[in-house]
Amino acid sequence: MVNLSAIQTGVSPSSEGRLALLFSALGARGGKAFIPYVMLGDPDLNSSLAMGQALLDAGADALELGIPFSDPIADGPVIAAASQRSLAGGFHLEQAFTALTVLRKATDRALCVMTYVNPILQRGPEAFSAAVAEAGGDALIVPDLPLEEGNTLARTCACNGLDLVRFVAPTSTDERIRRVVADASGFIYVVSVAGVTGSRADTLARVPETVARTRTFTDLPLCVGFGIDSPDKARVAAEVADGVIVASALVRAAAELGPGATGQARARAAGSLARAIRAALPR
């Protein structure tokens, strides 16, 4: 059972967390956040760590670190395949905490862990949140955990000083957006399209409207993700939002080199696209 007293005495996220500091610094100078993604263990842990480092070197303001899940229903083919490669390579959850520890030694930038609800549930929401915090993580991003199912994890995140990033989508009603942002922290993940992760032609058509509707209910930073695959799209999305999240395009840039490529080569490929996207965004 969640220890309620820990909520009152525990660390509170948001006000002094790395994400809050990042967005307050960016906001002061008109900069926009660039949050690239790496799938841990794809195709092995060292390669994914090299890719994380390359993304930091390319100017990432924070990293989104994916923990693979066997049935990633919010992800398109690129990330689903990365998930399968990671699991086929023998990924275990402990490696995620190792990866966080290694990256935390290398950087003071925010590290957000993205995974699905079942791996969290099987470890236990409290134990999972505590392990992420202990290893130096700053936030959890859980795409199959809507507001209705998220109370327990929100509490365990709060107890451990983590932000639980909430999602809004183009299909969200105003009433849902109001409830989603009410007790959110860190940033709001604005899903660009009704769809799964990955490229498509019409990524940005509904972004201004979704961002504007969300903005009326919260002052939290709004970051746009899903289908942002080029410097151009990143620049256009950042005109209305506070940051962009780029995942499939970077995973694909590395995966395109084929299974024989070295971790360094994969990291260079992803790093080069990341650099181009970073250059399109105000710092």
Report how far Cα 155 is from the mean position of its chain's Cα atoms: 19
Of the CA atoms within 13 Å of residue 114, those in its CB half-sphere come to: 26
Q: Is 64 a catalytic residue?
A: yes
Number of residues that bind another protein (CB under 8 A): 53
Q: Is 75 a catalytic residue?
A: yes
Which of 23, 34, 37, 69 is in the footprint of another protein by CB under 8 A? 69
Give CA–CA dist 32/42, Å, rounded.
Answer: 28
Which pair of structure tokens corresponds to residue 24? 């307050």
In Å, what is the CA distance from 198 to each residue of 53, 142, 168, 193, 228? Answer: 23, 17, 17, 10, 8
Site for another protein in 85-144 (CB under 8 A): 87, 92-93, 116-126, 143-144
Residue 161 vs 170, nearer CB to another protein: 170
Residue 73 vs 106, nearer CB to another protein: 73
The residues near 124 (Cβ < 8 Å, ≥ 6 apart) are none
- Which of 61, 75, 126, 138 does the annotation list as catalytic? 75
Which of 9, 148, 219, 258 is in the footprint of another protein by CB under 8 A? 148
Give CA–CA dist 191/5, Å, rounded.
Answer: 35
Residue 66 dihedral angles phi and psi, to the nearest 5°: -85, 130
By the rule CB under 8 A, 168 interacts with another protein:
yes
Q: Which residue has 């195709």 as its token pair?
A: 43
Which pair of structure tokens corresponds to residue 105? 């030694």
Which of 84, 98, 107, 230 is in the footprint of another protein by CB under 8 A? 84
Work out how close the CB of 85 gets to another protein at its nearest, in angstroms, rounded to a whole number.
12
Work out how close the CB of 25 gets to another protein at its nearest, in angstroms, rounded to a whole number.
28
Residue 158 vs 196, nearer CB to another protein: 196
Give CA–CA dist 179/244, Å, rounded.
Answer: 23
Residue 180 vs 277, nearer CB to another protein: 180
Site residues, another protein (CB under 8 A): 1-2, 68-74, 76-77, 80-81, 84, 87, 92-93, 116-126, 143-152, 166-173, 176, 180, 191, 193-196
Catalytic residue list = 64, 75
